[in-house]
Amino acid sequence: MSILNKKIAVIGLGYVGLPLAVEFGKKYEVIGFDINQPRVKELKSGTDSTLEVSNAELADTNLTFSNNVEDLKSANVYIVTVPTPINEHKQPDLTPLIKASEMLGTVINQDDIIIYESTVYPGATEEECIPVVEKASGLKFNQNFFAGYSPERINPGDKEHRVTNILKVTSGSTPAIAEMVDQLYKSIIIAGTHKASSIKVAEAAKVIENTQRDVNIALINELSIIFNKLNIDTLEVLEAAGTKWNFLPFRPGLVGGHCIGVDPYYLTHKAQTVGYHPEMILAGRRLNDGMGNYVVSQLVKQMLKKRIQVEGAKVLVMGLTFKENCPDLRNTKVVDIVSELKEYNIKVDITDPWCLSEEAQHEYDLTLINPEQNSYDAVILAVAHNEFKELGVENIRKLGKKNHVLYDLKYLLPKNEVDMRL
């Protein structure tokens, strides 16, 4: 099957969809679709608030933006990059994916291909999404339309690992479609592709990539708790162990974001439906999800040691995004620290040069401030933004009162210049 005459529609223009649409737009006619009208308007004006794509890159591509479903009817390849979050019970929430599938069922035609990139559990594409498309379209899967799965590997804020230089896993619902999907991605991915034997294999590969990282970070977080009780500096231990060639360079910390803190729950959900209750994966999740509370408990102990009144104290949290040098707030675990601090009747101020104030307000009902000097009983360095590094310890210390605690979660500052490290 030829890829030369393909017109591509990318559904969802967030951190994953937009960079992909821009790259495909350099070689194909591409429609970038999103139900978020302000987002479409912003992109039409030539600006990307996620900072994943520059204004020049947006201008230099054969890409049109739309929130009108009718515009999708001219496409013949649909790539779905909508969010797949978890709900309040830590169960997969496939609502955006199901709604996207319903919508595509109203626009697809004979021989069209739907490629899913959203993270799902093994089997979700063919068991959950495809029946929805069939019902809405009246077409028969693998007779009238086809499917593929190519898991996203976007790392928000990473300017080194971009769409084109990250190797891409591909798959298709028939051998011929698998080859077509592989060739389509291979036409833009410089790093090359890996064609999986089935859609389920590709889906499983995606969820274990981040589950593996989650479990490894959980181990390091547990070790940091042990070393803290033993009065040993965790970073010094990790640096010493890291001199061995095969020691993995993980660091303790908060595990948030759209992937690592979410994907394991997709895999454990599927495992439980087939009668297996995962132990290691869920233990790692519990440990990582509890790190916000652990950080606050350690801070409170240190405040008491310095005879700082905890109730009514003022604490500055530096950083709200889920990672450094990136405006992405999705599933940030800094909010766990904020919530736990408030349980102690502590007044919390938050500052973040990368975060949009409106988004912080909308997502978490939090207000960002510009901190004043000599104001805080404690300062928590929660995110390793370059701006905080450039401030240096002297200027950060000036934000605190004469007697205060400086807690460095990210090893931004020298050990002897802070009161606590994770």
What is the full per-residue pLDDT of the chain (422 aa) written as tens digits?
566 678 999 999 999 999 999 999 999 999 999 999 999 999 999 999 888 898 988 888 889 999 999 999 999 999 999 999 999 899 999 999 999 999 999 999 999 999 999 999 999 999 999 999 999 999 999 999 999 999 998 877 777 788 999 999 999 999 999 999 999 999 999 999 999 999 999 999 999 999 999 999 999 999 999 999 999 999 999 999 999 999 999 999 999 887 888 999 999 999 999 999 999 999 999 999 999 999 999 999 999 999 999 999 999 999 999 999 999 998 899 999 999 999 999 999 999 999 988 999 999 999 999 999 999 999 999 999 999 999 999 999 999 999 999 999 999 999 999 999 99
CB 303 within 8 A of CB 378: yes
Pairing, β 347-351 against β 376-381 = unpaired
Q: Which of 318, 313, 404, 379 is nearest to 354 (CA)?
A: 318
Burial level of 205, CB count in 10 A (0-12/13-18/19+)?
middle
Residues with active-site annotation: 259
CA-based end-to-end distance of the chain: 54
Mapping DSSP to helix (H, G, I), strand (E, B) and coil, where does residue 104 land? helix
Query: From CA 15, how far away is CA 116, in angstroms rounded?
Result: 15
User: What pTM did the predictor assign?
Assistant: 0.92
Query: From CA 268, how far away is CA 261, in angstroms rounded?
Result: 13
Sequence-distant (6+) residues with CB within 8 A of 271 are: 277, 278
Largest CA distance in the chain: 73
